[in-house]
Structure 1
């Protein structure tokens, strides 16, 4: 089955933007999570996380992963609605 079959509606710009935003936020959150794990394993003390960029690195996985999940759900809903409209016409 080819990816550009006549039954498939064209991919819109908003779909691509949502997909890349979700991917980018998820990757950045996972990288921050690994940075925290590596710094903890390297012996960094808890007090060092209160200064510099570390507060942002610590909070980003807590906020970024749910946002990426919601973007993926929105993309899925938009895709289902788009395919439903294309199937009816």
Structure 2
């Protein structure tokens, strides 16, 4: 059985919400960049000039950063819940 905190659920802090939405935004950006690369390749764009190298790097870097942000939210929420349960 799980025990509940005396005051109900622990409130969500603003920083947790910001980090979660940043993670979601980075994942969406990564998917959009992936589709942009697919469309650009099909249309014969030069992938080594212009903004294409930045888009290519975003496809690899953005999901990693999003995962780190999600882990940060998870760790901080676990620590906050433990602190709330220990204080009661």
Gaps of at least 5 residues in structure 2 are 1-6
Contact 1:22 1:68 (C-alpha < 8 Å) held by counterparts? yes
Give the total of aligned pairs: 82
Q: TM-score, normalised by structure 2?
A: 0.83
Q: TM-score, normalised by structure 1?
A: 0.82
Structure 1: how far apart are the matches of 2:59 and 2:73? 21
Gaps of at least 5 residues in structure 1 are 1-5
RMSD: 1.6
Regions of 4+ moved over 6 Å: none
Contact 1:7 1:86 (C-alpha < 8 Å) held by counterparts? no
